[in-house]
Amino acid sequence: MVRFTVILWILLIQRYAEATCHFYENGRHIYCSDINSLDALNAEIRKALTDNNLLNENVELMYILRSNLESFTLHSIGKWHKLKDLWFIDSNISSLTSDAFVNLEALEVIGIDNSNIENIDKNISNNLKALKGLILWRNKNLDILALNGGPAPEEINENTFSSFVNLVNLDLLSCSIKTITQNAFVNLPKLKSLSLSDNPLTSLPEGVFQSLEELEVLDLHGNNIIELQRSHLIGLTKLKSLKAFNNKLTKLPSNLFEGVTEISSLHFDANAITEIEEGIFDNLPNLTELDLSANKIKKLPNGLFKNSPKLKSFRVEENELESICGVFSKNLQYLEYFNVYNSKIKNLQPNCFQEMPGLHTLDLRHNGVEEISKGAFKNLQSLEYLSLQENSISVLFTGVFEEVPLLSRLVLSDNNIKTLETNCFDDVENLTNLDLDNNKIENLPSFQKLLRLETLDLSNNMLTRLDDGAFNGLTKLSSLYLDYNHIVNVHQGCFKDLKKLSTLTMAANGIATLPSSLFSELEKLESLDLQINLIKNIEPNAFEGLSKLTNLRLTNNNIHSLPNEIFDPLKVIQEISLSNNVIEHIPNKLFVGLVSLTRTELNNNKISVIEPKSFYGLKNLEFIDLSDNKLETIDSDTFAGLSHIRVIALDNNKLTKISVGDFENLQSLSYVGVQGNELPPEVMDQFKQRYTRP
């Protein structure tokens, strides 16, 4: 959170290039940037205080950004009773003298981010009695903390922090630390949080943290540490969180946490771990979060969590596990999240997860699961989310989900499912989302008991027909995806129970005809996608009942003509897409009454005739695309009355005569495309000058 706040304010302050100080947060925060002397800094602070009628006594946080100072003091301005945080960011300071922080008795945090401080006086901490946090990000000259002597750069030892005995938080992110001596932290008895992340450390000395008896958080992530042993954690009796992800660990020994019993959170992800020794977590009764993802683990010991009853989250995705059954003990009633994504599990045996009655999320994506045994999900009474995406399942048997009564999201996409047994979903009556896309499904099962289902994705399957009553019972369904199948026959009545459906996609099928009243039951439908079909015939009243439809896509079909008044039922339609068809003629009653229409696409057809006033009354139309057609003339009143039209595209037609004056009454018009026609150069120039690109 601290790092996020710093970045956010840097972005805000960068708009000021000159030397300046500004106040934020009702005068509690001050930001000074681009200042090149101590005198200028103090002068700018005084000016900012005066201009804003503020007192320095109320300031709580100060940033010095992109500045070059010979030294740093604020004593000339008076006491800063509430200043607790002081940051130097992207700055250079020649020296910090012993009186640098005089009158800053309340200072609790000093942050130095990507800055260069050449020298620090050894008595500087005399005025830092309240200092609890020292944050050093992206700093390579850590030798300054030796206070005029001691360790070489890239090393920290017992002298490095000898003057900061009251520190509670120490953050040494990205400081190029290569070596830590055994007694490096001996002078920090109050430290509760230590970050050594993103350094090039390869090893730790034995007992390196043994003096940190109050330490609760240790962050070692982003190093090159090869080994962690019990001796490295000696003395950390209050440690609660250990982050060692993104290192080069290969093994976690069984005695690693002996004497470190308060740990609740462990992160060992993104290492090269191949072995987890049996009993490693036996002494961690408070463990709630464990991440072992992105390693090379092939097998986990049985009973791994027998003494860790409080475990809530376990991540072991992106490993080489072939089985996870038997790993879990009988006391994992609090486990809520289990992720084993991208492993090598082929079978889910009965009772595999029965010791996890509190599990909410189970992620089994991208494994090699070929078959789900009946009883595999036994006793998962609290399961709400189950993903089996990207496996090799071919058949879904009835009864597989009989003990997951609260399941609301089931993801079975990207499998090889060909057969769905008729009643395979009868036991998941609370399901709201069902993803079956990218399979080989030819016939639909019964959905009649899925009374709460809201989203059903059947796209990219092998369906050829939608029979009457195909979706019976789905009275709460709002989104239905049927695109990229082989649907040819859509029977009347297949949508009759879908009273709340708002989105229907049937793109990329083989539909040739839209019969009358096909969608008449879909009274709440807002979006209908029928593009990339073979539609040639649209019968009158095909869109009857679609009074709430706002978006209709019919692009890439074989539509030759459209019946007059075919769009009449679409009282609130906003977008109609008819591009890439073979339409030749636009009758003047086609769009009558579509007062909500804002966009229509008629490009890439064979339109040669637009009857006069075909678009009359479309008072909200903003965009019309008639490019790539066969228009030879445009009547002077073709676009009359389009008070909100902004874009008219007429490119790549056969126009030989058109005038800028034909459009002069269209007050909102900003662009008319006429490229690729047979117009005189002077006419083209007139349009370019008058109507530029939107």
**Which CB contacts under 8 angstroms, 24+ apart, belong to 258-265?**
258/230, 258/283, 259/230, 259/233, 259/234, 259/283, 260/233, 260/236, 261/237, 261/285, 261/286, 262/237, 262/238, 262/286, 263/239, 263/287, 264/240, 264/288, 264/289, 264/310, 265/240, 265/241, 265/289, 265/290
pLDDT of residue 17: 56
Of residues 392 and 161, the one with the higher pLDDT is: 392
CB 32 within 8 A of CB 45: yes
Q: Residues 401-418: what's their mean pLDDT?
A: 96
Cα–Cα distance, 110 to 100 (Å, whole number) = 12
Cα–Cα distance, 304 to 528 (Å, whole number) = 51
pLDDT of residue 141: 54
Task: Evaluate if residue 138 carries a pLDDT over 60.
Answer: yes
pLDDT of residue 75: 59
- Phi first, then psi, for residue 624 (nearest 5°) are -140, 130
Q: Is 90 exposed, middle or buried (0-12, 13-18, 19+ CB in 10 A)?
A: middle
Name the CATH superfamily housing domain 485-582.
Ribonuclease Inhibitor (3.80.10.10)
CB 674 within 8 A of CB 684: yes
pLDDT of residue 77: 61
- Phi first, then psi, for residue 278 (nearest 5°) are -60, 135
Task: Evaluate if residue 28 carries a pLDDT over 80.
Answer: yes
Which pLDDT band, with edges at 50, 70 and 90, does 139 fall under? Answer: low
CB 617 within 8 A of CB 641: yes
What SS3 state is found at 146? Answer: helix
Task: Evaluate if residue 7 carries a pLDDT over 50.
Answer: no
What SS3 state is found at 37? Answer: coil
CB 315 within 8 A of CB 269: yes
pLDDT of residue 2: 46
Of residues 235 and 694, the one with the higher pLDDT is: 235
| CA 109 to mean position of chain CA atoms | 32
Distance from the first to the final alpha carbon of the chain: 41
- Phi first, then psi, for residue 169 (nearest 5°) are -125, 130
pLDDT of residue 158: 87
Q: Residues 642-649: what's their mean pLDDT?
A: 96
pLDDT of residue 329: 72
The structural domains of the chain, with segments of one domain joined by +, span 485-582, 583-694
Cα–Cα distance, 187 to 183 (Å, whole number) = 8
Task: Evaluate if residue 148 carries a pLDDT over 60.
Answer: no
485-582 and 583-694 agree in CATH topology: yes
CB 577 within 8 A of CB 601: yes
Task: Evaluate if residue 145 carries a pLDDT over 70.
Answer: no
What SS3 state is found at 289? Answer: strand
What SS3 state is found at 216? Answer: coil
% the chain with pLDDT above 90: 69
pLDDT of residue 150: 35
pLDDT per residue as tens digits for the range 371-403: 898 889 999 999 999 999 999 999 999 999 998
Cα–Cα distance, 69 to 91 (Å, whole number) = 8
Instruction: Quote the pTM value.
Output: 0.82
pLDDT of residue 693: 67
CB 102 within 8 A of CB 72: no
Summary mean pLDDT of the chain: 90
Task: Evaluate if residue 445 carries a pLDDT over 60.
Answer: yes
pLDDT of residue 220: 98
% the chain with pLDDT above 70: 94
pLDDT of residue 143: 47
Which pLDDT band, with edges at 50, 70 and 90, does 137 fall under? Answer: confident
**Which CB contacts under 8 angstroms, 24+ apart, belong to 451-454?**
451/475, 451/476, 452/408, 452/476, 453/477, 454/478, 454/479
Which pLDDT band, with edges at 50, 70 and 90, does 151 fall under? Answer: very low
Task: Evaluate if residue 76 carries a pLDDT over 60.
Answer: no
CA dihedral in degrees (65, 71, 73, 77; nearest 10)? Answer: -80
CB 373 within 8 A of CB 397: no
pLDDT per residue as tens digits for the range 274-319: 999 999 999 999 999 999 999 999 999 988 999 999 999 999 999 9
pLDDT of residue 207: 95
pLDDT of residue 1: 45
What SS3 state is found at 124? Answer: helix
Cα–Cα distance, 293 to 256 (Å, whole number) = 19
Taking phi first (over 0 means left), then psi (-120 to 50 degrees means alpha), and beta for anything else, what does residue 427 get? alpha
Residue carrying structure tokens 């269209």 = 666
- Phi first, then psi, for residue 85 (nearest 5°) are -125, 130
Residues 6+ apart with CB under 8 A from 692: 670, 671
Residues 6+ apart with CB under 8 A from 217: 192, 193, 194, 195, 239, 240, 241
What SS3 state is found at 28? Answer: coil
Q: Residue 18, Cβ neighbours under 10 Å: how many?
A: 8
Which pLDDT band, with edges at 50, 70 and 90, does 149 fall under? Answer: very low
CATH 2.70.98.10 matches 583-694:
no
Task: Evaluate if residue 621 carries a pLDDT over 70.
Answer: yes
Going along 270-348, which residue ranges are E strands?
275-276, 289-291, 313-315, 337-339, 347-348
Q: Residues 495-508: what's their mean pLDDT?
A: 97
Q: Using alpha carbons, select from 358, 258, 253 the residue that is nearest to residue 309.
A: 358
Q: Residue 281, Cβ neighbours under 10 Å: how many?
A: 24
- The answer to which of 348-352, 451-455, 526-530, 560-564 has the lowest mean pLDDT is 348-352
